[in-house]
A and B are shown apart, each in its own frame.
Chain A
Protein backbone atom coordinates (compact mmCIF):
# COMPACT_ATOMS: atom_id res chain seq x y z
CA UNK A 1 0.00 0.00 0.00
CA UNK A 2 1.31 3.45 -0.91
CA UNK A 3 0.27 6.62 0.92
CA UNK A 4 1.33 9.63 -1.13
CA UNK A 5 1.11 12.28 1.60
CA UNK A 6 0.85 12.35 5.37
CA UNK A 7 -1.10 10.08 7.61
CA UNK A 8 -3.18 12.57 9.50
CA UNK A 9 -6.72 13.43 10.52
CA UNK A 10 -7.81 13.58 6.89
CA UNK A 11 -6.32 10.28 5.79
CA UNK A 12 -7.18 8.38 8.96
CA UNK A 13 -5.30 5.42 10.39
CA UNK A 14 -3.82 2.79 8.11
CA UNK A 15 -3.99 -0.97 8.47
CA UNK A 16 -2.60 -3.25 5.78
CA UNK A 17 -1.97 -6.93 5.17
CA UNK A 18 1.22 -6.38 3.20
CA UNK A 19 3.86 -3.64 3.17
CA UNK A 20 3.14 0.06 3.59
CA UNK A 21 5.06 3.04 2.19
CA UNK A 22 4.25 6.54 3.45
CA UNK A 23 5.78 9.37 1.45
CA UNK A 24 4.96 11.99 4.07
CA UNK A 25 4.79 12.07 7.87
CA UNK A 26 2.76 10.19 10.43
CA UNK A 27 1.11 12.83 12.56
CA UNK A 28 0.37 12.75 16.27
CA UNK A 29 -2.50 10.56 17.38
CA UNK A 30 -2.46 8.38 14.26
CA UNK A 31 -1.55 4.74 13.84
CA UNK A 32 -0.09 2.64 11.04
CA UNK A 33 -0.05 -1.12 11.21
CA UNK A 34 0.99 -3.70 8.66
CA UNK A 35 1.65 -7.41 8.55
CA UNK A 36 4.63 -6.66 6.32
CA UNK A 37 7.20 -3.86 6.52
CA UNK A 38 6.57 -0.13 6.87
CA UNK A 39 8.67 2.60 5.24
CA UNK A 40 8.07 6.23 6.21
CA UNK A 41 9.87 8.93 4.26
CA UNK A 42 9.10 11.73 6.69
CA UNK A 43 8.77 12.04 10.44
CA UNK A 44 6.78 9.99 12.93
CA UNK A 45 5.30 12.21 15.61
CA UNK A 46 3.40 11.02 18.73
CA UNK A 47 1.94 8.14 16.74
CA UNK A 48 1.91 4.34 16.82
CA UNK A 49 3.58 2.25 14.15
CA UNK A 50 3.38 -1.57 14.29
CA UNK A 51 4.87 -3.89 11.68
CA UNK A 52 5.12 -7.63 11.24
CA UNK A 53 8.34 -6.99 9.31
CA UNK A 54 10.83 -4.08 9.44
CA UNK A 55 10.19 -0.39 10.04
CA UNK A 56 12.23 2.33 8.40
CA UNK A 57 11.73 6.03 9.20
CA UNK A 58 13.98 8.08 6.98
CA UNK A 59 13.74 11.37 8.87
CA UNK A 60 13.14 10.55 12.51
CA UNK A 61 10.78 10.05 15.38
CA UNK A 62 9.65 12.92 17.59
CA UNK A 63 7.39 11.02 19.94
CA UNK A 64 6.64 13.52 22.76
CA UNK A 65 6.65 10.55 25.18
CA UNK A 66 3.67 8.98 23.40
CA UNK A 67 5.10 7.80 20.09
CA UNK A 68 6.10 4.15 19.60
CA UNK A 69 7.40 1.89 16.88
CA UNK A 70 7.14 -1.89 17.20
CA UNK A 71 8.56 -4.33 14.67
CA UNK A 72 9.04 -8.07 14.50
CA UNK A 73 12.09 -7.33 12.33
CA UNK A 74 14.49 -4.39 12.36
CA UNK A 75 13.82 -0.72 13.18
CA UNK A 76 15.91 1.92 11.41
CA UNK A 77 15.29 5.63 12.06
CA UNK A 78 17.17 8.85 11.37
CA UNK A 79 16.89 10.01 14.98
CA UNK A 80 14.59 9.41 17.93
CA UNK A 81 13.40 11.82 20.61
CA UNK A 82 11.10 10.86 23.48
CA UNK A 83 9.69 7.72 21.93
CA UNK A 84 9.80 3.95 22.28
CA UNK A 85 11.39 1.68 19.70
CA UNK A 86 10.80 -2.06 20.10
CA UNK A 87 12.44 -4.36 17.53
CA UNK A 88 12.92 -8.09 17.62
CA UNK A 89 15.97 -8.05 15.33
CA UNK A 90 17.97 -4.82 15.85
CA UNK A 91 17.73 -1.04 16.10
CA UNK A 92 19.78 1.30 13.90
CA UNK A 93 19.67 5.06 14.52
CA UNK A 94 21.19 7.55 12.12
CA UNK A 95 22.42 10.20 14.50
CA UNK A 96 20.96 10.49 17.99
CA UNK A 97 18.62 9.01 20.58
CA UNK A 98 17.37 11.29 23.32
CA UNK A 99 15.19 10.42 26.30
CA UNK A 100 13.85 7.36 24.56
CA UNK A 101 13.31 3.68 25.31
CA UNK A 102 15.07 1.29 22.96
CA UNK A 103 14.20 -2.40 23.28
CA UNK A 104 15.57 -5.19 21.12
CA UNK A 105 16.67 -8.81 21.27
CA UNK A 106 19.59 -7.87 19.00
CA UNK A 107 22.07 -4.96 18.78
CA UNK A 108 21.57 -1.20 18.97
CA UNK A 109 23.75 0.91 16.67
CA UNK A 110 23.76 4.70 16.79
CA UNK A 111 25.66 5.89 13.74
CA UNK A 112 27.09 9.28 12.73
CA UNK A 113 27.66 11.45 15.79
CA UNK A 114 26.19 8.54 17.73
CA UNK A 115 24.62 10.49 20.60
CA UNK A 116 22.71 8.66 23.33
CA UNK A 117 21.36 10.96 26.03
CA UNK A 118 18.84 9.95 28.67
CA UNK A 119 16.39 7.11 28.51
CA UNK A 120 16.72 3.36 28.66
CA UNK A 121 18.32 0.80 26.38
CA UNK A 122 17.54 -2.90 26.88
CA UNK A 123 19.24 -5.10 24.31
CA UNK A 124 20.11 -8.74 24.03
CA UNK A 125 23.27 -7.82 22.11
CA UNK A 126 25.70 -4.88 21.91
CA UNK A 127 25.24 -1.12 21.97
CA UNK A 128 27.49 0.95 19.71
CA UNK A 129 27.46 4.74 19.99
CA UNK A 130 29.66 7.82 19.74
CA UNK A 131 28.78 9.67 22.93
CA UNK A 132 26.74 8.37 25.85
CA UNK A 133 25.27 10.34 28.71
CA UNK A 134 25.27 14.03 29.43
CA UNK A 135 27.47 16.48 31.27
CA UNK A 136 24.51 17.86 33.20
CA UNK A 137 23.08 21.34 33.53
CA UNK A 138 24.57 23.60 36.18
CA UNK A 139 21.52 25.53 37.35
CA UNK A 140 23.19 27.99 39.64
CA UNK A 141 26.27 28.90 37.67
CA UNK A 142 29.70 27.42 37.08
CA UNK A 143 31.06 25.45 39.98
CA UNK A 144 27.99 25.77 42.20
CA UNK A 145 26.55 22.46 43.33
CA UNK A 146 23.51 20.69 41.93
CA UNK A 147 23.66 19.56 38.36
CA UNK A 148 20.69 18.11 36.64
CA UNK A 149 21.79 14.99 34.86
CA UNK A 150 19.49 13.04 32.62
CA UNK A 151 19.57 9.42 33.62
CA UNK A 152 20.94 7.11 30.95
CA UNK A 153 20.48 3.43 31.73
CA UNK A 154 21.90 0.70 29.51
CA UNK A 155 21.11 -3.01 30.03
CA UNK A 156 22.73 -5.49 27.68
CA UNK A 157 23.03 -9.21 27.30
CA UNK A 158 19.46 -10.33 27.95
CA UNK A 159 16.35 -9.91 25.75
CA UNK A 160 14.03 -7.22 27.17
CA UNK A 161 11.15 -9.65 27.84
CA UNK A 162 13.35 -11.84 30.03
CA UNK A 163 14.92 -8.88 31.80
CA UNK A 164 11.51 -7.36 32.56
CA UNK A 165 10.36 -10.75 33.87
CA UNK A 166 13.33 -10.75 36.23
CA UNK A 167 12.73 -7.17 37.35
CA UNK A 168 9.08 -7.96 38.10
CA UNK A 169 9.90 -11.21 39.87
CA UNK A 170 12.14 -9.77 42.56
CA UNK A 171 9.49 -7.58 44.24
CA UNK A 172 6.96 -10.44 43.97
CA UNK A 173 9.37 -12.75 45.70
CA UNK A 174 9.88 -10.23 48.50
CA UNK A 175 6.11 -9.79 48.96
CA UNK A 176 5.52 -13.53 48.99
CA UNK A 177 8.29 -14.13 51.54
CA UNK A 178 6.88 -11.38 53.74
CA UNK A 179 3.36 -12.86 53.51
CA UNK A 180 4.77 -16.26 54.42
CA UNK A 181 6.55 -14.92 57.50
CA UNK A 182 3.39 -13.10 58.64
CA UNK A 183 1.25 -16.20 58.21
CA UNK A 184 3.83 -18.33 60.01
CA UNK A 185 3.86 -15.91 62.96
CA UNK A 186 0.06 -16.10 63.22
CA UNK A 187 0.10 -19.90 63.08
CA UNK A 188 2.75 -20.11 65.80
CA UNK A 189 0.81 -17.67 67.98
CA UNK A 190 -2.46 -19.62 67.66
CA UNK A 191 -0.72 -22.91 68.35
CA UNK A 192 0.98 -21.44 71.40
CA UNK A 193 -2.45 -20.40 72.72
CA UNK A 194 -3.72 -23.92 72.11
CA UNK A 195 -6.27 -24.84 69.44
CA UNK A 196 -8.97 -27.32 70.46
CA UNK A 197 -9.38 -30.35 68.20
CA UNK A 198 -5.76 -30.22 67.02
CA UNK A 199 -3.92 -33.15 68.56
CA UNK A 200 -0.44 -32.80 70.03
CA UNK A 201 1.40 -34.57 67.20
CA UNK A 202 -0.26 -32.45 64.53
CA UNK A 203 0.37 -29.31 66.55
CA UNK A 204 4.09 -30.14 66.87
CA UNK A 205 4.35 -30.86 63.18
CA UNK A 206 2.64 -27.56 62.36
CA UNK A 207 5.06 -25.70 64.64
CA UNK A 208 7.94 -27.29 62.72
CA UNK A 209 6.45 -26.28 59.36
CA UNK A 210 5.65 -22.75 60.50
CA UNK A 211 9.14 -22.15 61.87
CA UNK A 212 10.61 -22.48 58.37
CA UNK A 213 8.41 -20.77 55.79
CA UNK A 214 9.81 -21.15 52.28
CA UNK A 215 12.13 -18.35 51.21
CA UNK A 216 14.86 -17.91 48.61
CA UNK A 217 17.46 -18.68 51.28
CA UNK A 218 15.57 -21.87 52.23
CA UNK A 219 15.40 -22.95 48.58
CA UNK A 220 19.11 -22.32 48.05
CA UNK A 221 20.10 -24.27 51.15
CA UNK A 222 17.57 -27.12 51.25
CA UNK A 223 16.50 -27.31 47.60
CA UNK A 224 13.20 -27.09 45.79
CA UNK A 225 12.26 -30.76 46.34
CA UNK A 226 12.44 -30.45 50.13
CA UNK A 227 10.43 -27.25 50.09
CA UNK A 228 7.78 -28.85 47.85
CA UNK A 229 7.58 -31.94 50.07
CA UNK A 230 7.13 -29.87 53.23
CA UNK A 231 4.45 -27.73 51.59
CA UNK A 232 2.70 -30.87 50.41
CA UNK A 233 2.66 -32.11 54.01
CA UNK A 234 1.17 -28.76 55.03
CA UNK A 235 -1.50 -29.22 52.38
CA UNK A 236 -2.61 -32.61 53.74
CA UNK A 237 -2.79 -31.34 57.34
CA UNK A 238 -4.73 -28.28 56.20
CA UNK A 239 -7.13 -30.43 54.15
CA UNK A 240 -7.96 -32.43 57.31
CA UNK A 241 -8.54 -29.24 59.30
CA UNK A 242 -10.75 -27.70 56.62
CA UNK A 243 -12.76 -30.91 56.36
CA UNK A 244 -13.87 -30.29 59.96
CA UNK A 245 -14.96 -26.72 59.28
CA UNK A 246 -18.67 -26.06 58.84
CA UNK A 247 -19.99 -24.09 55.89
CA UNK A 248 -19.31 -20.35 56.30
CA UNK A 249 -23.06 -19.74 56.01
CA UNK A 250 -23.24 -21.29 59.47
CA UNK A 251 -20.88 -18.86 61.19
CA UNK A 252 -18.36 -20.69 63.41
CA UNK A 253 -18.52 -19.81 67.07
CA UNK A 254 -16.52 -20.57 70.18
CA UNK A 255 -13.87 -23.25 69.65
CA UNK A 256 -14.59 -23.45 65.99
CA UNK A 257 -13.55 -19.81 65.55
CA UNK A 258 -9.95 -20.48 66.55
CA UNK A 259 -9.96 -23.63 64.47
CA UNK A 260 -11.14 -21.62 61.43
CA UNK A 261 -8.50 -18.95 62.11
CA UNK A 262 -5.80 -21.61 62.22
CA UNK A 263 -7.06 -22.97 58.90
CA UNK A 264 -6.96 -19.51 57.33
CA UNK A 265 -3.41 -18.74 58.45
CA UNK A 266 -2.20 -22.19 57.44
CA UNK A 267 -3.71 -21.61 54.02
CA UNK A 268 -1.93 -18.25 53.76
CA UNK A 269 1.32 -19.96 54.72
CA UNK A 270 0.71 -22.67 52.11
CA UNK A 271 -0.04 -20.16 49.31
CA UNK A 272 2.90 -17.93 50.26
CA UNK A 273 5.27 -20.94 50.15
CA UNK A 274 3.76 -21.94 46.83
CA UNK A 275 4.28 -18.48 45.36
CA UNK A 276 7.87 -18.23 46.59
CA UNK A 277 8.66 -21.57 44.91
CA UNK A 278 6.94 -20.50 41.69
CA UNK A 279 8.67 -17.10 41.47
CA UNK A 280 12.05 -18.55 42.40
CA UNK A 281 11.69 -21.18 39.67
CA UNK A 282 10.93 -18.37 37.22
CA UNK A 283 13.98 -16.38 38.32
CA UNK A 284 16.19 -19.46 38.02
CA UNK A 285 14.86 -20.07 34.50
CA UNK A 286 15.86 -16.54 33.48
CA UNK A 287 19.26 -16.70 35.20
CA UNK A 288 20.15 -19.95 33.44
CA UNK A 289 18.58 -18.95 30.13
CA UNK A 290 20.44 -19.81 26.96
CA UNK A 291 19.51 -16.33 25.77
CA UNK A 292 21.87 -14.75 28.30
CA UNK A 293 24.71 -13.17 26.32
CA UNK A 294 27.64 -12.56 28.66
CA UNK A 295 29.81 -11.31 25.82
CA UNK A 296 27.55 -8.34 25.10
CA UNK A 297 29.46 -5.06 25.12
CA UNK A 298 28.95 -1.30 25.21
CA UNK A 299 31.21 0.33 22.61
CA UNK A 300 31.50 4.11 22.90
CA UNK A 301 33.77 5.83 20.40
CA UNK A 302 34.20 9.34 21.91
CA UNK A 303 32.91 10.06 25.42
CA UNK A 304 31.07 8.39 28.28
CA UNK A 305 29.79 10.80 30.89
CA UNK A 306 29.62 10.36 34.64
CA UNK A 307 26.44 8.77 35.96
CA UNK A 308 25.69 6.47 33.03
CA UNK A 309 24.33 3.17 34.41
CA UNK A 310 25.56 0.04 32.69
CA UNK A 311 24.31 -3.51 33.23
CA UNK A 312 25.75 -6.43 31.29
CA UNK A 313 24.07 -9.72 32.11
CA UNK A 314 23.29 -9.26 35.80
CA UNK A 315 26.34 -7.20 36.71
CA UNK A 316 25.80 -3.49 37.27
CA UNK A 317 28.06 -0.49 37.38
CA UNK A 318 27.78 3.30 37.26
CA UNK A 319 30.37 5.33 35.38
CA UNK A 320 32.13 7.30 38.08
CA UNK A 321 33.90 9.87 35.97
CA UNK A 322 33.83 11.15 32.44
CA UNK A 323 36.02 9.10 30.15
CA UNK A 324 37.08 9.00 26.52
CA UNK A 325 36.22 6.24 24.09
CA UNK A 326 35.80 2.92 25.86
CA UNK A 327 34.50 -0.61 25.45
CA UNK A 328 32.68 -1.99 28.48
CA UNK A 329 32.70 -5.76 28.84
CA UNK A 330 32.00 -8.36 31.46
CA UNK A 331 35.12 -9.87 33.00
CA UNK A 332 34.21 -12.41 35.67
CA UNK A 333 31.96 -10.68 38.18
CA UNK A 334 32.63 -7.12 37.16
CA UNK A 335 32.33 -4.81 34.20
CA UNK A 336 35.66 -3.49 32.95
CA UNK A 337 36.36 -0.67 30.53
CA UNK A 338 39.13 -0.96 27.99
CA UNK A 339 40.21 1.78 25.54
CA UNK A 340 38.18 2.08 22.36
CA UNK A 341 40.03 1.02 19.22
CA UNK A 342 38.66 -0.07 15.89
CA UNK A 343 40.37 -3.41 16.30
CA UNK A 344 38.80 -3.98 19.72
CA UNK A 345 35.37 -3.06 18.35
CA UNK A 346 35.78 -5.50 15.46
CA UNK A 347 36.52 -8.27 17.95
CA UNK A 348 33.33 -7.63 19.95
Chain B
Protein backbone atom coordinates (compact mmCIF):
# COMPACT_ATOMS: atom_id res chain seq x y z
CA UNK B 1 0.00 0.00 0.00
CA UNK B 2 1.38 3.45 -0.90
CA UNK B 3 2.07 6.02 1.86
CA UNK B 4 -0.87 8.09 0.67
CA UNK B 5 -3.18 5.11 0.76
CA UNK B 6 -2.02 4.19 4.28
CA UNK B 7 -2.51 7.78 5.44
CA UNK B 8 -5.97 7.89 3.90
CA UNK B 9 -6.82 4.55 5.42
CA UNK B 10 -5.67 5.77 8.86
CA UNK B 11 -7.71 8.96 8.51
CA UNK B 12 -10.74 6.87 7.65
CA UNK B 13 -10.31 4.69 10.71
CA UNK B 14 -9.31 7.13 13.46
CA UNK B 15 -11.69 5.60 15.96
CA UNK B 16 -12.29 2.09 17.18
CA UNK B 17 -15.52 0.83 15.67
CA UNK B 18 -17.76 -1.93 16.87
CA UNK B 19 -20.43 -3.87 15.10
CA UNK B 20 -23.69 -3.32 16.87
CA UNK B 21 -27.37 -2.99 16.38
CA UNK B 22 -28.27 0.29 18.08
CA UNK B 23 -31.72 1.84 17.68
CA UNK B 24 -31.30 5.07 15.75
CA UNK B 25 -33.66 7.29 13.85
CA UNK B 26 -32.38 9.18 10.84
CA UNK B 27 -33.82 12.17 9.03
CA UNK B 28 -32.48 13.81 5.92
CA UNK B 29 -31.16 17.24 6.95
CA UNK B 30 -29.64 18.67 3.77
CA UNK B 31 -28.58 17.63 0.30
CA UNK B 32 -25.88 19.44 -1.66
CA UNK B 33 -27.37 21.87 -4.08
CA UNK B 34 -30.94 21.52 -2.79
CA UNK B 35 -32.54 24.19 -0.60
CA UNK B 36 -35.93 22.51 -0.34
CA UNK B 37 -36.43 19.00 0.87
CA UNK B 38 -39.50 16.74 0.77
CA UNK B 39 -41.89 17.13 3.71
CA UNK B 40 -41.29 13.50 4.70
CA UNK B 41 -37.61 13.26 5.69
CA UNK B 42 -37.53 10.12 7.81
CA UNK B 43 -35.32 7.31 6.61
CA UNK B 44 -35.65 3.67 7.60
CA UNK B 45 -32.20 2.62 8.71
CA UNK B 46 -30.41 0.19 10.97
CA UNK B 47 -26.94 0.47 12.50
CA UNK B 48 -24.19 -1.78 11.20
CA UNK B 49 -21.31 -0.40 13.22
CA UNK B 50 -20.55 2.57 15.42
CA UNK B 51 -17.52 4.55 16.52
CA UNK B 52 -17.02 7.87 18.27
CA UNK B 53 -16.28 9.35 14.86
CA UNK B 54 -19.15 7.99 12.84
CA UNK B 55 -21.65 5.30 12.04
CA UNK B 56 -22.33 2.86 9.23
CA UNK B 57 -26.03 2.65 8.42
CA UNK B 58 -28.01 0.38 6.17
CA UNK B 59 -31.27 1.64 4.74
CA UNK B 60 -34.00 -0.94 5.17
CA UNK B 61 -36.68 0.41 2.88
CA UNK B 62 -37.35 2.86 0.09
CA UNK B 63 -38.38 6.36 1.21
CA UNK B 64 -38.36 9.68 -0.67
CA UNK B 65 -35.58 10.86 1.63
CA UNK B 66 -33.41 7.76 1.12
CA UNK B 67 -33.63 8.23 -2.66
CA UNK B 68 -32.05 11.70 -2.32
CA UNK B 69 -29.08 10.73 -0.17
CA UNK B 70 -25.69 11.12 -1.82
CA UNK B 71 -22.15 11.86 -0.75
CA UNK B 72 -22.01 15.10 1.20
CA UNK B 73 -25.64 14.91 2.33
CA UNK B 74 -26.32 15.73 5.97
CA UNK B 75 -28.29 13.32 8.14
CA UNK B 76 -29.92 14.22 11.47
CA UNK B 77 -29.40 11.22 13.76
CA UNK B 78 -31.22 10.58 17.03
CA UNK B 79 -30.03 8.04 19.62
CA UNK B 80 -32.50 7.36 22.43
CA UNK B 81 -30.58 4.70 24.29
CA UNK B 82 -27.35 6.40 25.32
CA UNK B 83 -28.43 7.03 28.89
CA UNK B 84 -29.40 10.70 28.76
CA UNK B 85 -32.85 12.10 29.67
CA UNK B 86 -33.42 13.39 26.14
CA UNK B 87 -32.32 11.57 22.95
CA UNK B 88 -28.84 12.51 21.75
CA UNK B 89 -29.00 14.18 18.36
CA UNK B 90 -25.99 14.38 16.11
CA UNK B 91 -25.49 15.80 12.66
CA UNK B 92 -23.60 13.52 10.32
CA UNK B 93 -22.21 13.93 6.83
CA UNK B 94 -22.41 11.05 4.35
CA UNK B 95 -18.86 10.21 3.23
CA UNK B 96 -19.61 7.02 1.29
CA UNK B 97 -22.66 5.49 -0.36
CA UNK B 98 -22.69 1.82 -1.40
CA UNK B 99 -25.65 0.33 -3.19
CA UNK B 100 -25.37 -3.35 -2.31
CA UNK B 101 -28.83 -4.03 -3.75
CA UNK B 102 -31.70 -1.90 -5.10
CA UNK B 103 -33.43 -1.82 -1.68
CA UNK B 104 -30.38 -1.76 0.56
CA UNK B 105 -27.94 1.10 0.58
CA UNK B 106 -25.11 1.42 3.06
CA UNK B 107 -24.21 4.90 4.21
CA UNK B 108 -20.92 5.71 5.93
CA UNK B 109 -21.62 8.80 8.03
CA UNK B 110 -19.09 10.89 9.96
CA UNK B 111 -20.33 12.90 12.93
CA UNK B 112 -19.75 16.49 11.92
CA UNK B 113 -21.25 18.33 14.90
CA UNK B 114 -20.63 16.55 18.20
CA UNK B 115 -19.64 17.79 21.63
CA UNK B 116 -16.89 16.10 23.67
CA UNK B 117 -19.46 14.76 26.16
CA UNK B 118 -21.55 13.26 23.35
CA UNK B 119 -18.41 11.69 21.87
CA UNK B 120 -17.67 10.23 25.33
CA UNK B 121 -21.16 8.73 25.57
CA UNK B 122 -20.73 7.06 22.21
CA UNK B 123 -17.22 5.89 23.06
CA UNK B 124 -18.60 4.30 26.24
CA UNK B 125 -21.28 2.52 24.26
CA UNK B 126 -18.66 1.25 21.84
CA UNK B 127 -16.00 0.23 24.33
CA UNK B 128 -18.16 -1.25 27.10
Please determine whether B35 and A236 come into contact, CB atoms closer than 8 angstroms. yes
Distance A260 CA – B26 CA, assembled complex (angstroms): 22
Q: Pick the residue among B74, B76, B110 that contacts A248 (CB under 8 A).
A: B110
- Known contacts: A239-B74, A242-B112, A243-B32. The answer to whether A271 contacts B89 by CB under 8 A is yes
A331 within 8 A of B: no
A-B contact count (CB 8 A): 47
Please determine whether B113 and A263 come into contact, CB atoms closer than 8 angstroms. yes
Please determine whether A175 and B74 come into contact, CB atoms closer than 8 angstroms. no
CB-CB under 8 A from A236, the residues of chain B are 30, 35
Please determine whether A249 and B89 come into contact, CB atoms closer than 8 angstroms. no
CB-CB under 8 A from B85, the residues of chain A are 171-172, 175
B115 within 8 A of A: yes
CB proximity of B27 to chain A, nearest CB, Å: 9
The contact string, 1 if C-beta is below 8 Å from chain B, for chain A 243-265, is 10101110000000000100110
Please determine whether B91 and A242 come into contact, CB atoms closer than 8 angstroms. yes
Q: Pick the residue among A171, A176, A239, A249 that contacts B110 (CB under 8 A).
A: A249
Please determine whether B113 and A267 come into contact, CB atoms closer than 8 angstroms. yes
The contact string, 1 if C-beta is below 8 Å from chain B, for chain A 210-221, is 000000000000
The contact string, 1 if C-beta is below 8 Å from chain B, for chain A 105-147, is 0000000000000000000000000000000000000000000
A64 within 8 A of B: no
A23 within 8 A of B: no
Please determine whether A249 and B53 come into contact, CB atoms closer than 8 angstroms. yes
CB proximity of A14 to chain B, nearest CB, Å: 33
Q: Pick the residue among A172, A176, A239 that contacts B29 (CB under 8 A).
A: A239
**Minimal Cβ-Cβ distance residue in B for A250:** B11
CB proximity of A140 to chain B, nearest CB, Å: 41
Query: Contact size class for B?
Result: 20 to 34
Distance A263 CA – B93 CA, assembled complex (angstroms): 13
Distance A236 CA – B32 CA, assembled complex (angstroms): 11
Distance A172 CA – B86 CA, assembled complex (angstroms): 7
**Minimal Cβ-Cβ distance residue in A for B31:** A239
- Known contacts: A247-B110, A248-B53, A249-B110. The answer to whether A242 contacts B86 by CB under 8 A is no
Please determine whether B112 and A248 come into contact, CB atoms closer than 8 angstroms. yes
CB proximity of B106 to chain A, nearest CB, Å: 19
A179 within 8 A of B: yes
Contacts of B16-56 to chain A: CB distance below 8 A: 29-30, 32, 35, 53
Please determine whether B86 and A249 come into contact, CB atoms closer than 8 angstroms. no
Please determine whether B111 and A267 come into contact, CB atoms closer than 8 angstroms. no
B14 within 8 A of A: yes
Please determine whether A242 and B11 come into contact, CB atoms closer than 8 angstroms. no
Distance A264 CA – B86 CA, assembled complex (angstroms): 17
Please determine whether B86 and A267 come into contact, CB atoms closer than 8 angstroms. no
Please determine whether A249 and B32 come into contact, CB atoms closer than 8 angstroms. no
Distance A172 CA – B87 CA, assembled complex (angstroms): 10
